[in-house]
């Protein structure tokens, strides 16, 4: 049977980028489709990553360079796959390319930037600050290109943009485009999103100003984040000196996510270090059910146990309220070991929010695939030419995601080269 040698990778996070680069370096043509206007997924929004605590730019930059420099890889950003039809070795896919309203044919000039004053919530920073409606998503974005949120513009801004030089940099009449591609195999690497913690009404997320999530904490700690890396709490911009982390916010709970999200313990241990390194004498309390730091990550945990300013309290947090005068979150917990009920104030609380697969909300369109009860993509029946990679299959850290991506490429190659 003849097969098409091309591989489609959906999702341009660390798993998808690695899969695309591996497949291309093994001689396959690759199409990489990412729905955001930039590559990098959740990892580019982190401050540092465990266990080595390097900035995401180091690993990510190498991988993005592998993609950028390989002529076998065609990248569609701000795009989504609408349909997949056909059979292993011979799939037809339709890709919708959303309008950026920025053509890339002429540079966006200061005149264009000055034409737009409207600010919109900044999605890169989980809406903790705002950005202009004509914006570059972040300072290391690939592609390094503006995006225009046309819906947010005033009529006057639209007119100013049309008049700004050089003409041809912005096209307010740009329409979405559709492209058809033929591929032999598909790798789904659409990753995860944080659990919607506003469903945990007892923990105050979305209601109490100084209760934030772990992904927001990554942005707060980041040099290119809303506070330029200073740990300032949202209500009054005060530097935090006493921070609580609440583990399993949504995870391991039959009413929310019944599974362990696997990366949140390491995530909070890492973020406890941010607090300790950025604020002299700051205190950290971690409320946990079990600390799950598998394999070689255990050392990361033991090292933190040595720190006198970091306290571990075993107990599930029952409720978070707020002191109306100070806006300090008040944590209520039953500490398991002594069996005491505790009520304690902090400057800020970070909820260690669980991991939900992207496919729980949006199954892969146009093709019937098998998912588990929580929406994670499972291995497809024998003979399918569609494979998952990374967090769309289960919660994974970066190094495991990358290995999983390589494994998916090996399976895809068996289809396209048979």
Ligand X SMILES: Cc1cc2nc3c(=O)[nH]c(=O)nc-3n(C[C@H](O)[C@H](O)[C@H](O)COP(=O)(O)OP(=O)(O)OC[C@H]3O[C@@H](n4cnc5c(N)ncnc54)[C@H](O)[C@@H]3O)c2cc1C
- Chain residues binding ligand X by CB under 6 A are 10-16, 33-36, 41-43, 46, 49-50, 80, 189-192, 214-215, 218, 263-264, 267, 270, 355, 358, 362, 390-391, 396-399, 401
DSSP 199: G
Smallest distance, Å, CB 392 to ligand X? 6
* Alpha carbon separation from 382 to 19, 107, 119, 310, 404 (Å, rounded): 21, 49, 50, 49, 18
C-beta of 13 vs 161, nearer to ligand X: 13
Nearer to ligand X, 92 or 98 (CB): 98
Give the phi and the psi of residue 322 in degrees, each rounded to 5.
Answer: -140, 140
Residue in the block written with tokens 């496919």: 359
Cβ at position 262, least distance to ligand X in Å = 8
Q: H helices within 32-154, ranges in order?
A: 56-68, 110-115
- What minimum distance in Å lies between the beta carbon of 373 and ligand X? 20
Name which of 112 and 387 has its Cβ closer to ligand X: 387
In whole angstroms, the minimum distance from the beta carbon of 124 to ligand X comes to 12
Query: 376-388 b/e with 16+ CB inside 10 Å = b?
Result: bbeebeeebbbbb
Following CA atoms 303, 306, 308, 313 in sequence, which dihedral angle do they give, to the nearest 10 degrees?
A: 70
CB of 112 to ligand X, least distance (A): 26
SS3 115: helix
Nearer to ligand X, 10 or 21 (CB): 10
- Min dist CB 13 to ligand X, Å, is 2
Helix runs in 164-279, H state only = 214-221, 264-278
């Amino acid at each position: 049977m003849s097969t098409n040698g091309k591989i489609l990778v959906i999702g341009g996070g660390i798993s998808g980028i690695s899969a695309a680069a591996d497949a291309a370096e093994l001689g396959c043509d690759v199409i990489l489709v990412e729905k955001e206007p930039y590559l990098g997924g959740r990892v580019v929004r982190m401050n540092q990553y465990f266990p080595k605590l390097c900035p995401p730019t180091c690993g990510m930059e190498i991988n993005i360079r592998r993609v950028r420099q390989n002529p076998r890889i065609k990248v569609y950003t701000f795009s989504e796959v609408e349909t997949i039809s056909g059979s292993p070795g011979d799939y037809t896919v339709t890709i919708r390319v959303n309008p950026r309203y920025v053509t890339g044919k002429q540079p966006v000039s200061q005149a264009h930037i000055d034409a737009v004053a409207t600010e919109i919530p900044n999605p890169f920073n989980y809406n903790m600050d705002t950005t202009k409606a004509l914006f570059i998503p972040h300072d290391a974005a690939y592609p390094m290109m503006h995006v225009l949120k046309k819906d947010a513009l005033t009529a006057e801004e639209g007119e100013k943009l049309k008049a700004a030089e050089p003409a041809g940099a912005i096209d307010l009449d740009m329409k979405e485009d559709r492209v058809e591609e033929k591929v032999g195999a598909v790798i789904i690497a659409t990753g995860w999103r944080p659990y919607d913690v506003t469903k945990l009404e007892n923990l105050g997320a979305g209601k109490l100003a100084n209760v934030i999530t772990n992904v927001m904490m990554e942005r707060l700690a980041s040099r290119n984040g809303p506070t330029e890396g200073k740990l300032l709490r949202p209500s009054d911009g005060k530097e935090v000196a006493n921070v609580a982390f609440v583990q399993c916010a949504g995870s391991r709970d039959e009413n929310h996510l019944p599974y362990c999200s696997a990366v949140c313990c390491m995530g909070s241990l890492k973020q406890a270090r941010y607090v300790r390194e950025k604020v002299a004498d700051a205190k950290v309390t971690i409320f946990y059910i079990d600390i799950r730091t598998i394999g070689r990550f255990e050392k990361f945990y033991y090292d933190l146990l040595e720190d006198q300013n970091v306290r571990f309290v075993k107990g599930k947090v029952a409720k978070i309220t707020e002191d109306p005068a100070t806006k300090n979150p008040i944590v209520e917990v039953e500490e398991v070991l002594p069996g005491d009920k505790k009520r304690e104030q902090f400057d800020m609380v970070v909820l260690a929010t669980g991991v939900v697969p992207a496919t729980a909300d949006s199954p892969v369109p146009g093709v019937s695939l098998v998912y588990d009860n929580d929406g994670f993509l499972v291995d497809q029946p024998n003979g399918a030419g569609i494979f998952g990679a990374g967090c769309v299959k289960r919660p994974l850290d970066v190094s495991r995601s990358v290995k999983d991506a390589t494994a998916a490429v090996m399976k895809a190659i068996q289809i396209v080269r048979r």
